[in-house]
Copies of this chain bind each other. A is one copy, B any other.
Amino acid sequence: MRIALAQLNPTIGALEQNLEKVKEYYQAGLERKADLVVFTELSLPGYPPRDMLNYKGFLDKEHSLITEELMPLTAKTGIPILIGANHRQGGRLYNAALLLENGAIKSTQLKTLLPYFDVFDETRYYTACLERKIEMLDGIPTAVTVCEDTWNDMEYFNDPLYDSDPLQGLFAQGARLLLNLSASPYHYGKHALREDMLPYLAKKYNTAVIYLNQVGANDELVFDGSSLVYNNRGELLYRASLDQEELFIVETEALFKPASNIVPPDRDDIETIKKILELGTSDYLAKTGFSKVVLGLSGGIDSAVVAALAAEALGPEKVLGILMPSPYSSRHSVEDALELAENLGINYRTLGIEKPFDTFISLLNEGAGPKMDLAEENLQARLRGLILMQVSNREGYLALVTGNKSELAAGYSTLYGDMAGGLAILADVRKMMVYELAHHINEIHGKKVIPERIITKAPSAELRPDQKDEDSLPPYNILDPILELYLEMNLSPSEIIARGHDEETVRRVVKLVDTSEYKRRQAAAGLRITPNAFGAGRRMPIARGFEYF
């Protein structure tokens, strides 16, 4: 049997547009003589559709496109479609894989394990299916599973999230092929996990494994494709693109014999993160109808890296940097920002904030000069935010937020100031990794497109004379590991200290994180690259006690 697998990039909620894509790839599958064409989890709604699922009319429309468009196709061609879809049954909603054949739904496989952690809310919408059966695909007994159903092996995972493992039952029924329809977003470490766990399953059950993933970004989530095919020895036969749509063919015969070529292991390194951030950026623009971006160029490393990523993702001609020096900006910052813009070939303008700053100081301080307080630091950041938003509103640029995760975590940023914009590319990238990205960008360019001084100078917001980030924050090489333990591993302050971190610093960092929740509540969507990004992945109260635990 020739199975065609379509790794597609849907737009959430664009049912008709996604249908066109499915039909196009189905046609391509037919042209490549496929006996079956397979699509990812929730192919027509895109994943995750979130509260669009609360609209019965939305589900009705998806259903009608399946029954009136896709099912007739399979009758006409004789070639079945296996597709992830919403499925209503007995007044409940299921996340399902539907096998469409000869104009009918030949069978349905309903999802059992519904992720509810991190960014996932499936228990909000779906009922879990408790009984599972194998599917015969051209005589091959197949465990057709939807995403999470493959991810709860009780031996592989030390602390499985769910009490049951649907695979156990399916393989007890004699499955020889595991076919998983996924929409699994990227975070670092996930490639390694997939490419360790899936061959483990192949060997454990003597099964071939086809893992088909969604590709492309939807708001914060970047789906990283990288669909995988293993033979029943756990040898990797194929890995699909990280960031492109594609259709690939699997000859089932090849799944049950030694590999002629084993694909080398994946390197989930800084280059992968770079590509993920670029994909997240270009897809956010494409799916919200923007074609160009504007950002502030401060001469600092964050805006430099954002400019470089945006230039790579969109083309430098689509990127506009604005230099907005204040009375406290250093001369080298302006020089560095200009050099960066020239190196990247992006457009730039200079709109200094001295005059609006003076006007406001005069208004707010009743004619007196600057008081040099924190409010006036915020004022400078907000004047810049205001300029970016004016250019955005008037000229149709999407404003990019340049702040990194360390700042966002510690509240070292100004609401409506440097936090203003539509998409925060580095919102889940800690400062130390921003440096890694900068070095990597220069390395792949083979020259210092990000000027050396931007990388080596001490980080500063330049909102008062001689200001340094370290006046307000622990050094980033101290801060970042504490943030990782507190935010990504959910360790308590006392547990973090027990791992050898300085008690006073830990208390200070935790306090900074906890008391700046109100800022993050109003933060722009930020691309997710860790298992616990801010946003939907971390749901914290604002008004709360700040007791130590």
Q: Which residues of A contact B (CB under 8 A)?
A: 11-18, 46, 48-52, 54-58, 60-61, 91, 116-117, 121, 123-124, 159, 217-219, 283-284, 287-288, 351, 355-356, 359-360, 362-364, 373-375, 378-379, 382-383, 385-387, 389-391, 393-394, 415-416, 420, 422, 490-495, 518, 521-525, 536, 538-547, 549
Contacts and interface: CB of A to CB of B under 8 A. Distances in A.
A19 to B, nearest CB: 10
Contacts of A393: 374-375, 378
Nearest to A16: B547
Contact of A492 (B49, B55, B394): B55
A329 to B, nearest CB: 16
Contacts of A378: 389-390, 393
A362 B359 CA distance: 12
Contacts of A549: 15, 55, 57-58, 60-61
B522 A523 contact: yes
Given A356-B363, A522-B523, A538 B51 contact: yes
Contacts of A54: 490
Given A14-B544, A382-B389, A57 B416 contact: no
Contacts of A362: 355
Q: Kindly report how many copies of this chain are found in the complex they form together.
A: 2
B49 A541 contact: yes
In order of increasing CB-CB distance, the 9 nearest A-B pairs are A57-B492, A14-B545, A287-B543, A375-B394, A123-B123, A416-B416, A375-B393, A13-B544, A61-B549
B386 A360 contact: yes
Contacts of A491: 55, 57
A16 B536 CA distance: 28
Given A57-B495, A123-B123, A386-B416, A542 B219 contact: yes
A383 B382 CA distance: 9
A394 to B, nearest CB: 4
